[in-house]
Structure 1
Amino acid sequence: MALDLEEQENLANLKSFWARYGNYIIGVITVALLVYSGMSAWKWYQRDQAADAGKLYETLINSISKNEKDKTYLAAEDLQNKYGGTSYAAMGSLVAAKVAMDSNDATKAQSYLKWTANQASDDSFRALAQLRLLGILIDQGTEASLKEADQLLKEKAVKGFEPLWIERRGDWYLVQTKIPEARTEYLKAMKAMQSDRAFPEDARGLLKVKIDAVGGM
């Protein structure tokens, strides 16, 4: 069917517009499709990674029940190397650190805790690893370990864990028999805990024992 003059003019305008902007439009659409497909692929990859990491974490837990420490450590290290961005890697390293400490291997425990403190994607796991690492370093009580603990304590505490961070500073003073300084930190920690209902009563109870030991409230 023959086109009338208006239709011919519209078609000509469309051809002219496409000649000028067609490649740009195709480029924009292509980028949009790539972004969408990339996001979909990333979500699928994350789900796939989490599923595989979960299976490996289950292997780690099973190895503990069988008292197979070497398999526990191997699974923890595989989680770090292959699935370091998942929460399972952080959990696996914390569990492996506990196994190492129960076996009186403080060096290995520290290595797992340091990995978690530096690499964990979840702040709660990172804070827990830092606090446990501080406990080991302070308990060792050597010049080198106390210096390392001091450097760590100078870092900013993970939000929500500040009272425990202050308490660890008190422990740091206490192991050096700096009683007045320890008491000051413990009292600061108790004040912070009392203003935060998120802390369980057990945490306050333990801190109260420490305060009593250095002179009381």
Structure 2
Amino acid sequence: MATHFDLQEQEQLATLKHFWSRWGTLISVAVFVVVAAVAGYKGYAYWQTSQAIKAAELFDQVRVATEQNQADALNQRLGVLQDSFGKTTQASQASLVAGHYWVQQKNWPAAQTAFEWVSKNAKDEGFKALGALHLSSVQMQQENWDGALATLNGFAFPYEFRALRDDRKGDVLQKQGKTQDAIAAYNAAFELLEPTASYRAVVQSKLNALGQTPAALRATGA
């Protein structure tokens, strides 16, 4: 009985050795990959949190710089935020804040640079759309009508922003003296806006000023 047990044990041992010699390396690699993946996930989560904290601190510094009218500090902090933390939400938010600050200062080139960065680099499509809209507004301030129109036509606005895009296009086209095209753009904006949207009245007033009733209202007999 003991001999049989020893033989069985040896067979099991031999089988185990054979199995390990054939698959041991692969198993070790697989275990390492799993462990590394878990450690990597935790490390990545920690890194993301660390990045968000640093970006939030810089965003606050940008905001304070605009409130205290510290242009040099604003440019320095915003540059670090865009260069080192460009993928964060805070970078887009800070660029929008900076752009609005430069608009108030009537520094159109600086405002344009800030809004251009958002429209090209923001990870969120909503931020990109805001960047493009504000960029077109700055271009209009500089009477760069063709540039403003190119900005509005060259960006794929999410549905929620298309009414504002068309309204802005109407403003640009009207400045260019293209009245019929402006009317068409305003009508498109009016139709995209919810009937309860307060901005609908603004678009309607623009059409009324051009001697028009919104096409959507004419269609319903309102």
Q: Which moved more, 1:160-169 or 1:183-192?
A: 160-169
- Shift in Å, 1:84: 0.7
RMSD of equivalent CA atoms: 1.9
Q: Trace 1:56-95 onto structure 2 (pairs within 5 A).
A: 56-95=58-97
Contact 1:57/1:88 (<8 A) preserved: yes
Percent identity, please: 28
- Cα distance between partner residues in 1 of 2:42 and 2:187: 51
- Cα distance between partner residues in 2 of 1:146 and 1:33: 58
Q: Which moved more, 1:131-140 or 1:45-54?
A: 131-140
- Shift in Å, 1:174: 0.9
Which has the larger Rg? 2
Q: Trace 1:96-111 onto structure 2 (pairs within 5 A).
A: 96-111=98-113
Q: Trace 1:17-36 onto structure 2 (pairs within 5 A).
A: 17-36=19-38
Equivalence for 1:178: 178
- Cα distance between partner residues in 2 of 1:77 and 1:158: 28
TM-score computed with the length of structure 2 as normaliser: 0.87
For each residue in 1:69-110, what CA deviation from the matched residue of structure 2 results, as whole angstroms up to 9, or x when unmatched? Answer: 221222222211121111111111111111111111100100
- Shift in Å, 1:154: 2.5
- Cα distance between partner residues in 2 of 1:159 and 1:42: 33
Q: Which runs of 5+ in 1 are unaligned?
A: none
- Cα distance between partner residues in 1 of 2:111 and 2:96: 9
Q: Which amino acid aligns with 2:203?
A: L
Q: Which amino acid aligns with 2:148?
A: A
- Cα distance between partner residues in 1 of 2:24 and 2:94: 53
- Cα distance between partner residues in 2 of 1:173 and 1:67: 35
Q: How many residues align?
A: 210
Equivalence for 1:40: 42
Q: Trace 1:143-158 onto structure 2 (pairs within 5 A).
A: 145-155=144-154, 156-158=156-158
3-state SS in 1 of match to 2:202: helix
3-state SS in 2 of match to 1:161: helix
3-state SS in 1 of match to 2:160: coil
